[in-house]
Amino acid sequence: MTRWGARAGPPLLLMLGALPFAFPSGFVLTTATLLLLTAILGQSWNILGGYGGQSSFGHALFYGTGAFTTALLQVRFGWNAWVAAAAAIGAGTLVGAAAGALVFRQGLRGSYFALVTLAFAEIARVLVASFDITGGGFGLLVPLHRGAASFQFSDPRLPYWIAWTVVLAGVLLTIGIERSRFGARLAAVRENEDAARALGIAPVQVKTVCTAISAGLAATAGVLYLQIFLFIDAANGFGVGVSVQALLAPILGGLATPWGALLGALALRLMAEMVHAVAGGLAGIDLALFGVILILILRFAPGGIAGIRLRRDA
Amino acid sequence: MLDVVDLHRRFGGVTALSGVSIAVRQGSITALIGPNGAGKTTAFATIAGFHRPDRGQMRFLGRDITGWRPERIARLGLVRTFQIVQPFGRLSVRDNIAVGAHLHLARRASALTEAEAVARRLGLAADLDKPADTLPIAGRKRLELARALATRPRMLLLDEVMAGLNPAEVAALMPVIREIRDGGVTLLMIEHVMQAVAELAERCIVLAEGRVIATGTVAEVARDPVVVDAYLGEGAAARLADHHAA
C-alpha cells in the first residue's frame, strides 16, 4: 500500500497546523484558511459521494444552510454566535436528512440524484436572494463585535486553528466511518443495493443517515466561513461554485480516502491562486479552471492524488 | 417453517406465478426444480420480498411476511442468494462476508473475525484479501453463499449455486451444503444440476409455467409423466414409455 494519500496527508496537516507561526496574518493565512474550508467541504462531499457513492451536485445547499442560519439567528434574532453556530450545524444536518429521505425514497440515483441536488441548491439560492429577511441581493453582514464570546477574534490565527481542528475531526470522522458497521453498510449499498438488501440492510435509511452526516459537516464549513468573513450572500452560500469545490476537492485528491479531500483542497487552492495571478479577476475563470481540472483527472488519474502510487506494486 | 400459499405474480401481460404453494419443513433440504422460465427465480424473489405478490400469503417462522421489504425478511432469518452473483465488486472477499456478519455483530473486529471463519468453512480462506471481482465464477458462487451464511440465517434460498461449476467443484460444494443443513439451517434450493438435487434434496418441488406440477422425493417426481412432459414437451412421457416397451 504505497499510496500517496496516507503518507502525504498527516505531514501536510501538521505543516498546516504550524503555518500561522510563520504567517501570523495576511494573504498566506487567508488563503490557507480558505484551503481548510474547502477541505472540510470536500470531506463532507467525500462521505456521501466517495463512501456512499451518491454524487451530489448541490452541496452548497448544506453549506449555505449553515452560513445563512447562523447569520440570520445573529443578525435578525440577536442570538449568541456560538449558540447560533450549533443551531446552524443542526439545521444543516436536518436539511440533509430531509433531502436524503425525500430523494432516496423516490429511488433517485446517479445523474438524477446529481440533478435533483443541484436543483435544491439553486432553489435555495434564488429564495435567499428574493427575500429581505435573508439579505436579498445584498447579503447579510454580521456586525463586528470582537471577542471570544461572539466567535469573533482579533487574531486571525484563532479561527484558522478552529478550522484546522475541524479538518482533523473530519479526517477522524472519515476513518471512523471506514472502520465501522455503518461504513461497511455504506460500501455495500454503494456497490450493490439489491445484494445489500438481501443481507438485511435498508439502503434508504443508510443513505439518508449518510447525507445527514455529510450535510452537518458541510454546514460546519459554512458556519466557519461566516464567522471568519462576517458576511454571506446567496452566491457565496448557495452558488454552484461551492458545490463544484465540494466535489472537486475529493475527486482531485482521492475519492473514498480519509486524506483525499485535504490533498485535493491544497491542489485546488494553489491552482486557483496561480490562475488568479495570471488572469486577474476575470469573472468565472475559476469555474472554467475547475472544469478543465475535472476532465484531466477523469482522463489521467481517476484515483486522484491519493491514488497515485509511488512505486509500481501489484 | 416456510409456508407459501397460492402465490400469484404477473409482469405486465406475462404470468410468472399462478397459484404457487410451497411448504418447507424445518431442518430439511428441499429442491425447487423445473424447466427454464418456470418461475423459480421469480418465486424466490417474491418470497424474499424483492417482488410484491399480486395475491397469496407467505408465512415464515409463524409470522406473516407478505408485503415485507427484503431487508426486514432477511433480518428475520430468511436470506436469499442470487442466481446471477451480486458481489460487492470492489470490496475484498473478507469485507464482502463481513457485511453479512454485521447483521448480528455490531463491532467491526467481530464481523471481520466471523468473516474469516465463514470463509474457511467455504474454502475461501486463500482469497480473503482479493477484490470480489477478481474471483473466478466458482469462487464468486461460494462468496454468495458465504455472505448469506454469515448473517446466521434460519433458512437459505439458494438460487443455482451449482450452476457454472465443473463436476469437481460441484462435488466439493455438496458436502459444504450438507454441513450447512446439519448446522441447523433449512435449505430451499433452485438447482439444475440433477446430481446435486438427487444427492442432497429430501423433497422436490417441480414448477412449470408458474404452477407446481409435482412434489415428492426425487425418484417420485422423476417418474412422474407430468414432469417428464414439462421438461421434454407434451407427450414425451408417452413416447418414452412406448420406446421402452418396444
Is residue A78 predicted with pLDDT exceeding 70? yes
Nearest residue to A57 via CA among A116, A101, A107: A116
Residue type, B54: D
**How long a stretch of residues is chain B?**
246
How much of chain B is in helix, strand and coil states, percent to nearest 5? 45, 25, 35
Choose the mutation target among B47, B50, B71 for the interface with A, i.e. most A CBs under 10 Å: B71
| A291 in a structural domain | yes
Is residue A253 a contact partner of residue A265, using CB atoms and an 8 Å limit?
A: yes
B243 touches chain A (CB under 8 A): no
For the stretch A14-34, pLDDT in tens is 999 999 999 998 899 999 999
Q: Which of B80, B105, B107 sits opposite A198 (nearest CB)?
A: B80
DSSP-based three-state secondary structure for B38: coil
Q: In chain A, pLDDT over 90 holds for what percent of residues?
A: 72
Residue type, B26: Q
Q: What is the pLDDT of residue A159?
A: 95
For the stretch B171-228, pLDDT in tens is 989 999 999 999 999 999 999 888 889 899 999 999 999 999 999 998 888 888 888 8
- Looking at the domain B2-245, which fold is it? Rossmann fold (3.40.50)
Other CB atoms within 10 A of residue A152 CB: 18
The DSSP secondary-structure symbol of B26 reads T
Q: Considering chain A, what is the average pLDDT of its residues? A: 91
Helix A4-22, helix A157-178: angle, nearest 10: 160
Instruction: Please give the distance of CA B229 from its chain centroid, rounded to a whole number.
Output: 24
Q: What is the pLDDT of residue B119?
A: 96
Choose the mutation target among B47, B88, B112, B129 for the interface with A, i.e. most A CBs under 10 Å: B88
Is residue B120 predicted with pLDDT exceeding 90? yes
- Give the integer Cα–Cα distance in Å for A101 and B185: 36
Nearest residue to A121 via CA among A56, A67, A71, A69: A56
Helices (H), B55-186: 70-76, 93-101, 108-121, 137-150, 167-182
Element (DSSP H or E) covering residue B195: helix B194-200
Q: In chain B, pLDDT over 70 holds for what percent of residues?
A: 100
Give the CATH number of the domain where residue A284 resides: 1.10.3470
Range of the domain at A42: 4-307
Asked if B71 lies within 8 A of A180 by C-beta distance, the reply is: no
Closest CA of chain A from B184, distance in Å: 19
- Give the integer Cα–Cα distance in Å for B227 and B207: 9
Nearest residue to A43 via CA among A235, A248, A284, A312: A248
Closest CA of chain A from B232, distance in Å: 34
Q: What is the pLDDT of residue B3?
A: 95
- The residues, ordered by sequence, that sit 6+ positions from B64 with a Cβ below 8 Å of its Cβ are B57, B58
Is residue A100 a contact partner of residue A208, using CB atoms and an 8 Å limit?
A: yes
| A59 in a structural domain | yes
Q: Which residues of B touch A302 (CB under 8 A)?
A: none
Asked if A181 lies within 8 A of B106 by C-beta distance, the reply is: yes
Asked if B91 lies within 8 A of A187 by C-beta distance, the reply is: yes
For the stretch A102-139, pLDDT in tens is 999 998 888 899 999 999 999 999 999 999 888 888 89
Is residue A152 predicted with pLDDT exceeding 80? yes
Is residue A297 predicted with pLDDT exceeding 90? no
Is residue A175 predicted with pLDDT exceeding 70? yes
Asked if A197 lies within 8 A of B95 by C-beta distance, the reply is: no
| A216 in a structural domain | yes
Closest CA of chain A from B194, distance in Å: 26
The DSSP secondary-structure symbol of B107 reads S
**How long a stretch of residues is chain A?**
314
B86 touches chain A (CB under 8 A): yes
Closest CA of chain B from A102, distance in Å: 18
Asked if A181 lies within 8 A of B91 by C-beta distance, the reply is: no
For the stretch A220-275, pLDDT in tens is 999 999 999 999 999 999 999 999 999 999 998 989 999 999 999 999 888 888 88
DSSP-based three-state secondary structure for B173: helix
Q: What is the pLDDT of residue A283?
A: 67
Is residue A75 predicted with pLDDT exceeding 60? yes
Mean pLDDT, rounded, for B85-97:
95
The model's confidence at residue B83, banded by pLDDT at 50, 70 and 90, is: very high
- Give the integer Cα–Cα distance in Å for A155 and A21: 12
- Give the integer Cα–Cα distance in Å for A305 and A6: 10
Mean pLDDT, rounded, for A188-200:
96
Q: Which of B70, B89, B90 sits opposite A198 (nearest CB)?
A: B70
Is residue A184 a contact partner of residue B98, using CB atoms and an 8 Å limit?
A: yes
DSSP-based three-state secondary structure for B227: helix
Mean pLDDT, rounded, for A3-23:
88
Task: Encode chain A in three state secondary structure.
Answer: CCEHHHHHHHHHHHHHHHHHHHCCCCHHHHHHHHHHHHHHHHHHHHHHHHHCCCCCCCCHHHHHHHHHHHHHHHHCCCCCHHHHHHHHHHHHHHHHHHHHHHHHHCCCCHHHHHHHHHHHHHHHHHHHHHCCCCCCCCCEECCCCCEHHHCECCCCHHHHHHHHHHHHHHHHHHHHHHCCHHHHHHHHHHHCHHHHHHCCCCHHHHHHHHHHHHHHHHHHHHHHHHHHHCEECHHHHHCHHHHHHHHHHHHHHCCCCCCHHHHHHHHHHHHHHHHHHHHCCCCCHHHHHHHHHHHHHHHHCCCHHHHCECCCCC
Other CB atoms within 10 A of residue A162 CB: 16
Mean pLDDT, rounded, for B157-164:
91
- Domain total in chain A: 1
Q: Where are the domains of chain B?
A: 2-245
